Amino acid sequence: MPELPEVETVVRDLRAPLVGRAIASVLVGDKKLRRSPGANLEALVGRTFHGIERRGKWICLDLAGPWLLVHLGMTGQFTFAAAQLPREDHTHVVFTLGPGGEELRFRDIRRFGSVSLYATRADLDAFFVKQLLGPEPWDLEPASWFKRLKATSRVLKAILLDQRTVAGVGNIYADESLHVAGLHPALPGKDVTRAQAEKLRLAIVEVLEHAIELRGSSIRNYVGGSGLMGKMQNEFRVYGRTGEPCLRCTQPLERIVLAGRSTHFCPRCQRLAKRRSTH
DNA sequence: ACAGGATCCTGGGGGC
DNA sequence: TGCCCCCAGGATCCTG
């Protein structure tokens, strides 16, 4: 679920309440999360949160020494809550914070998310290197981005979903960015022009920055770190709007499946082949 | 190298 | 009410 803007919102929400707070106790549920490589979270009691950062869709928590790494998967929620607020179903990890007793809670209905522990910052960085995690969208260098697109016959939608090319884009913002750029999601990377590549790069940045301003998109399960919903879902140009008119040209939007994911686009504004004159 | 499918999970919604 | 099927902001693994 959560893509870069949602994860960024969670991180921003959690920073103020969390930084400087010590872990008084840790509760871990029985159910397995997707990747928790022997994370002995109980060993974190007594540690203090020194900082919280985002990298792609990953949440990195600095515990002055060890780092906690959290991925929200499709339905993960990472929230700061008063202790008396009832814990919802599917809450898998709870950090109680001293001295107030508030809680940092990890909830994840489908359990595609993960909570793992790294002994040092270097170990965390090594993990990202091993993942070949791509740059943040705003760090994309135009020339290397273009080169990267030209190097593959994969379709743009698949390239955008691949975290190795650019980190943080998921199904919603891939579709939204392609619409802003006026590019067909099934256009092979090798076929883009330099101008199109640049248009797409700028569209990604624009779409994600706007989504961050709106605290991300709350459809189904997403909430920010404070439990507040996002507003970006009200401004989707194509995502989930199959059959509805394109906001730019009124043509009914279409839905296809690419890279195994539902893909929304305007058949008129986002043409595959070059537009041919009709007379 | 890539597409496509299955897999990990739970729940909501629609059709009957 | 229940059942069955499809769908879902992610990512990985396997096959062809």
A90 touches strand C (CB under 7 A): no
Q: Which two tokens stand for residue A119?
A: 């002994």
Which of A54, A57, A105, A107 is catalytic? The answer is: A57
Question: By the 8 A CB rule, do A117 and A68 touch?
Answer: yes
The dihedrals phi and psi of A170, each to the nearest 5 degrees, come to -125, -160
Q: DSSP secondary-structure letter at A209? A: H
Tokens 């814990």 sit on residue: A87
Angle at alpha carbon of residue A248, lines to A261 and A216, rounded to 5°: 50
Using CA atoms, how far residue A272 sits from A32, A115, A172, A226, in Å, is 43, 41, 20, 42
Closest-lying nucleotide for A73 based on CA to C1': C10
How far, in Å, CA of A167 to CA of A7, rounded?
12
Round to a whole number and report the distance in Å from the CA of A234 to the C1' of C16.
42
CB atoms within 10 A of CB A134: 20
3 state DSSP class of A173: helix
Q: What DSSP designation does A214 have?
A: T
Q: What is the pLDDT of residue A223?
A: 65
Angstrom distance (rounded) from CA A184 to CA A23: 48
A90 touches strand B (CB under 7 A): yes
Can you give the pLDDT at residue A229?
85
Residue whose CA lies closest to nucleotide B2 C1': A154
The residue type at A92: H
Q: What is the pLDDT of residue A274?
A: 56
Q: From residues 254-273 of A, which are strand C contacts by CB within 7 A?
A: 260-262
Alpha helices in A52-136 (DSSP H): 121-131
Q: What is the largest CA-CA distance in chain A?
A: 76
Rg (C-alpha) for chain A, rounded Å, is 20
A171 CB closer than 7 A to any strand C atom: yes
Mean pLDDT by 10 residues, chain A (279 residues): 93 97 95 73 96 98 97 95 94 95 96 94 95 96 96 96 97 97 96 97 98 90 73 94 96 95 96 57
- A50, with CB counted inside 10 A (0-12, 13-18, 19+), is middle
